[in-house]
Chain A
Amino acid sequence: MQHALSFEQAPPISVPYRFFLTAPLFGVAAGLILAWLGPQAFASRWSPGALALTHLLAAGFMLQVMCGALLQFVAVVAGANIWRPRLVAGIVHPLATLSAVFLATAFLSGRQSLYLFAAGLFAVGAGLFLTVMALALMRTPARGMAIHVLRLALFGLLLTAVLGIALAAILGGRGGALSAWPPLTLLSAHVAWGLAGWALMLLIGVSYLVVPMFQLTPAYPQWLTRLLPLGLLAALILWSLQLLPGAAALQTWQTTGLLAALLLSGLYALATLWLQSRRRRRQTDVSFAFWRMAMYALLVLVASWLLFEAFPRLGQDARAPLWLGLLALPGVFLSVIMGMLYKIMPFLNWLHLQRSAGTTTAPPTMNQMISHRNMHTQMLLHLAALGLLLAGVLWPLWVRPAGIAFSASCLWLEWNLISATRVYLNFRAQGSAQP
């Protein structure tokens, strides 16, 4: 059968794991930089520190996990074949890692050549990744809305990357050809496509598959599975009309797009919480708790944003975008990512060990891969770090403790992922030592 062949050709475990094990290190670095810079990093979203931290989390932490997970996910769940996964990972991983490091360094140092260097590396890495994923998702035998949403998310990544590379070219002093667009317009589209068109779209597509599967909930209602991605796409197109020449009069359309995206995001969070409340097994695990945390953070984000729109004096405060950014990145996306890593790594361990174990030795069970207590403690630390980060927006006194707590949480996550990898390697070594 075609499906079965797909798993046989699934990437070796080292393909996703190199991304997963690198990702938390960006969080460790971001926390330490925040603790070092202190309150000046939270002065406004335009501070070099805030821009560096945003990209360490988005282009570093988040992108690493999303790339690694997608390379494996489309093979196992969608039955799609990835072209030469080991080679692709061997090129994309170092390029993604280096470009995120150079970009953050460029923001902190202001050196123009570093922006260009980061943009060049990123263009090659993202270009290869997007081409390989697009081919795999075009040829997949799998059907269903989730696959369409994954395709849309990749389109969102493409636009985010193109706009980001254009902005880096401007910051690097090579943006002459882009003078038709004011940088702020490019930036606004870059942020919208990155947050909603790529990250949220991917989260929605992944939710359709993993929430019912791993949390034993009913499926998302069919009308909602269509409304969310198509509505979000329409909202993003309205928002992007500002890129058209002479678009100053389109302010109303932009506001409509923003409000639609916010309401759809809130609807997605409420639907997920509702499905989770109707799950068939009452027991909860750390992964489930992380998902709940993310959905509550998304609701607080939507409510805050609507409040800022309703009361412009509140929304015009320089700290308002930081509040929203912290709820979005560490609050929504990193919470889901951490919860997913605690599910994906034990599952991939089990799956790959099951394949290599033969019939004599049973591989460790899912629950034996990472200590529950360690995962639980790390989750509490992440929650505390998120609380401190948000407090740091309001009271500068809390910025440095927030950086240290966030760094510690990411370090603990790294340790937990390393211990899962060690369980895999030890069992493999035992298996090969047997006659």
Chain B
Amino acid sequence: MGMPEPRLIDGRGMLPPEPLERAMAALDTLPSGGELVMLLHGEPLPLYAMLDRRGFRYHAVDCADGSRKIHITKP
């Protein structure tokens, strides 16, 4: 059995803090080892702080169109 498909939140058309609210809700139900991917226009500093506090791992990748893809995994 392979890893479950990562969940995706495309926050690029959302008004702050909707992407953060959706991320928080999604992370609450994420299984251990599961991944959440977020697409955003900027660097979500407040999100990183929340992820650190809750012990999630994450890394960000620059996309060709200037947006950022943030990969979040639950340990």
Contact = CB atoms under 8 A, between A and B. Distances in A.
Contact of B50 (A3, A214, A219, A354): A354
Contacts of B24: 354
B56 to A, nearest CB: 11
A347 B20 CA distance: 11
Contacts of B16: 213-214, 347
B66 A219 contact: yes
Contact of B52 (A1, A213, A281, A366): A1
B31 interface: no
Contact of B43 (A3, A216, A350): A3
Contact of B45 (A4, A214, A355): A4
B21 to A, nearest CB: 8
Contacts of B46: 7, 76, 351
Nearest to B42: A213
A268 to B, nearest CB: 21
A416 B14 CA distance: 25
A43 B46 CA distance: 50
Contacts of B42: 209, 212-213
A111 B52 CA distance: 56
A347 B52 contact: no
Interface in B26-49: 28, 41-43, 45-46, 48-49
Contacts of A76: 45-46
A147 to B, nearest CB: 12
A156 to B, nearest CB: 25
A359 B16 CA distance: 20
Interface in A1-44: 1, 3-4, 6-8
Contacts of B55: none
A281 B15 contact: yes
Given A4-B45, A7-B46, A213-B16, 5 more contacts: A142-B43, A214-B16, A354-B20, A355-B49, A366-B15
5 contacts: A1-B52, A76-B45, A212-B41, A354-B24, A359-B28
Interface of A: 1, 3-4, 6-8, 76-77, 79, 142, 209, 212-214, 216, 219, 280-281, 347, 350-351, 354-355, 359, 365-366
